[in-house]
């Protein structure tokens, strides 16, 4: 099933150009009972993220083992059973893949949240992936960023994540879908704080699967970072329109 990743006219399997992102839509504050929530559509990948906290630490046995005044950040990621195309997804306890995603999310956000302000408190992040079509980790990171902002958690910057791939001819493709992941080449996922100017101190997470030549690392990196910038613009717009809605009503009355 070797399909052409990039046809002669420069179109990919789903009709996009090499540098185009899929359609992204997002909404903040979708769950009323949670302190912060967000819903994100990235092509056909759909994710809901919800934040509970910061609050007093619950009395789990896991929390007792930690020493002192630490900021407790719990992450839970779940794939819905109907999320994959076709087969029903079995619920596997202690799955290594999910465990790894949770650990990575913890590390990514701990590097951006101003942890000093939340000592002794607990923050719970719950992620439910409703539909998967490639770039799940990306969408999860973006949705979690939105949920954290909705909950009013102090952070240094937005974290945006994006994927990029490489064809056999060395052309970088932005934002891989599931089909491109399977029959294509390597997939690079980056979570970064897009900053203008030099990119120092901006990459929070990198993950690569399958192999490619070292000399192409530059290209694929640049492509993914550019994708992060674009996604940041989209998130920013969504946040501002949501904020206007709130500001209109409450704070102007103060």
Query: Closest approach of Cβ 12 to other proteins, in Å?
Result: 22
For other proteins, the closer CB: 6 or 113:
113
Residue position matching structure tokens 């937005």: 158
249 binds other proteins (CB under 8 A): yes
Q: Which two tokens stand for residue 232?
A: 């940041």
- For residue 127, give Cα distances in angstroms to 81, 170, 185, 236: 14, 35, 28, 21
In the stretch 198-237, what mask flags binding to other proteins with x, by CB under 8 A?
Answer: xxxxxxxxxxxxxxxxxx-xx--x---x----------x-
Question: CB-wise, 9 or 252, nearer to other proteins?
Answer: 252
CB of 218 to other proteins, least distance (A): 7
Q: Which of 49, 105, 223, 239 binds other proteins (CB under 8 A)?
A: 239
CA–CA dist 219, 176 (Å, integer): 15
Please tell me whether residue 251 binds other proteins under the rule CB under 8 A: yes
Q: Which is nearer to other proteins, 11 or 226 (CB)?
A: 226
Residue 65 burial (CB < 10 Å; 0-12/13-18/19+)? exposed
Q: Which of residues 49-88 bind other proteins (CB under 8 A)?
A: 54-56, 67, 69
Please list every residue from 133 through 152 that binds other proteins, using CB under 8 A: 149-152
Q: Which residue among 10, 99, 170, 233 contacts other proteins (CB under 8 A)?
A: 99
Q: Does 93 bind other proteins (CB under 8 A)?
A: no
Q: Does 10 bind other proteins (CB under 8 A)?
A: no
Q: How far apart are CA 136 and CA 221, in angstroms?
A: 18
What is the length of the chain?
A: 254
- CA distances in angstroms from 215 to 118, 170, 173, 186, 210, listed in the order given: 43, 10, 16, 14, 15
Give the Cα separation of 170 and 28 in Å (integer): 38
């Amino acid at each position: 099933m070797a399909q052409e990743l990039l046809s002669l006219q420069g179109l990919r399997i789903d009709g996009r150009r090499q540098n185009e992102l899929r359609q992204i839509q997002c909404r903040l504050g979708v769950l009323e009972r949670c302190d912060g929530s967000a819903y994100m559509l990235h092509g056909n990948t759909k994710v809901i993220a919800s934040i509970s906290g910061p609050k007093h630490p619950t009395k789990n046995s896991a929390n007792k083992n930690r020493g002192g005044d630490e900021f407790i950040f719990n992450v839970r990621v779940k794939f819905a059973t109907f999320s994959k195309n076709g087969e029903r997804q079995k619920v596997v306890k202690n799955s290594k893949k999910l465990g790894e995603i949770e650990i990575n999310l913890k590390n990514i956000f701990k590097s951006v949240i101003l942890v000093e302000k939340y000592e002794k408190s607990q923050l719970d992040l719950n992620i439910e992936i409703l539909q998967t079509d490639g770039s799940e980790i990306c969408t999860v990171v973006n949705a979690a960023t939105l949920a954290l902002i909705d909950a009013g958690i102090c952070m240094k910057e937005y974290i945006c994540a994006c994927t990029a791939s490489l064809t056999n001819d060395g052309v970088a493709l932005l934002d891989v879908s599931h089909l491109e992941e399977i029959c294509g080449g390597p997939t690079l996922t980056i979570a970064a704080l897009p900053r203008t100017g030099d990119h120092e101190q901006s990459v929070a997470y990198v993950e690569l699967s399958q192999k490619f030549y070292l000399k192409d690392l530059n290209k694929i990196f640049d492509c993914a970072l550019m994708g992060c910038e674009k996604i940041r613009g989209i998130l920013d717009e969504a946040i501002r329109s949501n904020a206007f809605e709130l500001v209109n009503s409450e704070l102007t009355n103060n």
